[in-house]
Amino acid sequence: MKNQQKIKQEKKERRHRRVRAKIKGTNERPRFSVFRSNKQIYVQLVDDTKGRALVAADSQKIKIQNTNKKKKKKDEKKNQLGGKMTEAYEVGKLIAQKALKKKIEQVVFDRGGYKYHGRVKAVADGAREGGLKF
């Protein structure tokens, strides 16, 4: 009998290969790539034709910004989400701001083999609210 963790990892890798077979990022419409670890979430916009990242953001920068600012009135959306979910949502908004500065408005979403719920969905929602079109 296989280890449950290995089975889970193999399923994720299969989903990831299936998603990446259909998605290619270009300079006009880069790939919105998501990586989720247990503690952090990382997002980057990748141009696959040149093989380089155009814009990147992660939840570590969000934590640093939140500790520097004094907490004021909380957003309604933040109250609905949990701790990591809030960070993911903010990362989505941050990447959207950076992308719009570089005049990138449309992206192709690459969930990286993760199921589209939880933090991955929160990043996508934040990016949409920030002005990116999927």
Counted domains in the chain? 1
- Given this model, what pLDDT does residue 67 score? 64
Residue 93 maps to which CATH number?
A: 3.30.420.100
- Residue position matching structure tokens 């989720």: 36
Structure tokens at 6: 């290995």
**Domain span at 126:** 4-130
Q: What is the pTM of this model?
A: 0.81
Q: Summarize pLDDT for 113-127 with one digit per residue, the tens.
A: 888 999 999 999 999
Name the CA dihedral angle for 130, 117, 56, 20, rounded to a multiple of 10 degrees.
-120
- Cβ atoms 90, 98 nearer than 8 A: no
User: Residues in the chain with pLDDT < 50?
Assistant: none
User: How far is CA 11 from each of CA 1, 16, 113, rounded to the nearest angstrom?
Assistant: 16, 9, 8
Q: Is 51 left (phi over 0), alpha (psi -120 to 50) or beta?
A: left
